[in-house]
Amino acid sequence: MYNRSIGLYIHIPFCKSKCHYCDFNSFAGKDELALPYFEAMKKEIRQYSDKLKDCSIKTVFIGGGTPSYVEACHIYEVVNIINQSFNIEYGAEVSIEANPGTLSFEKLMSYRVMGINRLSMGLQACQNRLLKEIGRIHSMEEFEENYNQARKAGFKNINVDLIFGLPTQSIKDWNDSISSVVKLCPEHVSCYSLKIEDDTAFGRSLAEGGLTPLDDEVDREMYYSAITELEKHGLKHYEISNFATPWRECRHNLIYWRGEQYLGVGAGAHSYLDDKRFNNACDINSYISQIGKSGSAIEDTQLISKKDEISEYLILGLRLIKGISADEFMSRFNEDLFELYGNQINKLIKKHLLELDNGRLRLSCSGLDLANQVFVEFI
């Protein structure tokens, strides 16, 4: 019997090219580092084997970067080491992120054979014009071909990522993207509002006056049209940006939103274990070097106090559409939610940003639009 059940995140930082909106820890043009990187990652995984022998792994998420860009043999070796090093629960969700244009039927079959049972595909938009504008390497036709290949390979749990609020995207463009995706019947859809970060191609273009952000009202209209259309097709809105058919919510991401524990492996990966948050070196060369010297690439460690844990639990938990249970809060922290945050909760209810129903606190429709104003009250 294991003392705790955690998630495992594996970071693959390699990409064919960097998308114009991307600020993730990912790198293009560093393919020559793949072999030493995966050797270092395997060593890091082994280092955690003894430390986590009291744990079982309930989810594995292979993210990036573009994990599907690297050779399938690298992913196989990592999955093999994971199975050797950790106690993987029966029926564990094992996900991999994949971009169209980096997939083949053979690669998808390899993923299924090695036990990967969930595929997260980055489409972003169905218009080839928009895909080119945002720096994607694929076309809509390639996405559809790869999606159908994934079904043929046996994937029964597929997520599709979409982005709205793109600079030249019209409401018709967005509605067409949603319509095209629901026709394929994915089990999960993620819809993200474009956020232009400084250290991205879009951020630099914005600073130079070469890019005009989409109007906020249009962005919100896109968001609510997605909610209506996706729910109409059986994809329940369960988190601010996420929709799923019954029992197909992303179990790995629910670990984050519920404030549960997870281990991150790879360059820039973050972990939350034993009341500590810590992260690895982001630079690939630094990561490889540090793992080679000491078996660890941890650069920053933060001890999480009970107050911090409660704050994070509220902020992350309120991202879920069903919100937070006052009873579950009491059970976890031995504290009364309304005694701790009564003033803030009452203030936000009066502003119609929060709702209280049957002991559950959740964002209202207005709160979904102004979530950051809600979250700041609990920091």
* pLDDT digits 0-9 by tens, 65-118: 999 999 999 999 999 999 999 999 999 999 999 999 999 999 999 999 999 999
Q: How many CB atoms lie within 10 A of CB 243?
A: 28
Instruction: Give, for 343, the enclosing helix (H) or strand (E).
Output: helix 337-350
Q: What percent of the chain has pLDDT over 90?
A: 99
Q: What is the mean pLDDT of the chain?
A: 97
- In one-letter notation, the amino acid at residue 345 is I
> What's the maximum distance between 2 C-alpha atoms anywhere in the chain?
59
Parallel, antiparallel or unpaired: strands 158-164 and 55-64:
unpaired
- Geometric angle at alpha carbon 230, from 228 and 233, rounded to 5°: 110
Number of H helices, E strands in the chain: 15, 17
What are the phi and psi torsion angles at 137 (to 5°)? -100, 0
pTM of the model: 0.97
Question: Rounded to whole angstroms, how far apart are CA atoms 103 and 109?
Answer: 10
Contact 367, 348 (CB under 8 A): yes
Instruction: Give, for 348, the enclosing helix (H) or strand (E).
Output: helix 337-350
Q: What domains are defined for the chain? A: 4-257 (3.20.20.70), 306-378 (1.10.10.920)
Question: Rounded to whole angstroms, how far apart are CA atoms 211 and 202?
Answer: 7
Question: Rounded to whole angstroms, how far apart are CA atoms 68 and 134?
Answer: 19
Question: Rounded to whole angstroms, how far apart are CA atoms 371 and 365?
Answer: 10
Select from 146, 158, 159, 65 the least CA-distant residue to 103. Answer: 146
Has residue 2 got a pLDDT over 90?
Answer: no
Helix, strand, coil distribution of the chain in percent, nearest 5: 45, 25, 30
Select from 120, 97, 95, 67 the least CA-distant residue to 251. Answer: 95
At 1 the pLDDT is 58
pLDDT confidence tier of residue 163, bands split at 50, 70 and 90: very high
Contact 140, 131 (CB under 8 A): yes
Select from 348, 274, 350, 276 the least CA-distant residue to 318. Answer: 348
DSSP code string of 223-243: HHHHHHHHHHTT-EEEETTEE
Contact 125, 162 (CB under 8 A): yes
What are the beta bridge partners of residue 264? 9
Q: Which two tokens stand for residue 4?
A: 């705790």
- For the chain, how far is it from start to end, CA to CA, in angstroms? 36
252 in helix, strand or coil? helix
pLDDT mean over 256-276: 97
Q: Which two tokens stand for residue 61?
A: 């998420």
Summarised one tens digit per residue, pLDDT across range 296-351 is 999 999 999 999 999 999 999 999 999 999 999 999 999 999 999 999 999 999 99
Q: Report whether the peptide linkage leading into residue 295 is cis, meaning its omega lies within 30 degrees of zero.
A: no
pLDDT confidence tier of residue 28, bands split at 50, 70 and 90: very high
At 3 the pLDDT is 82
pLDDT mean over 161-180: 98
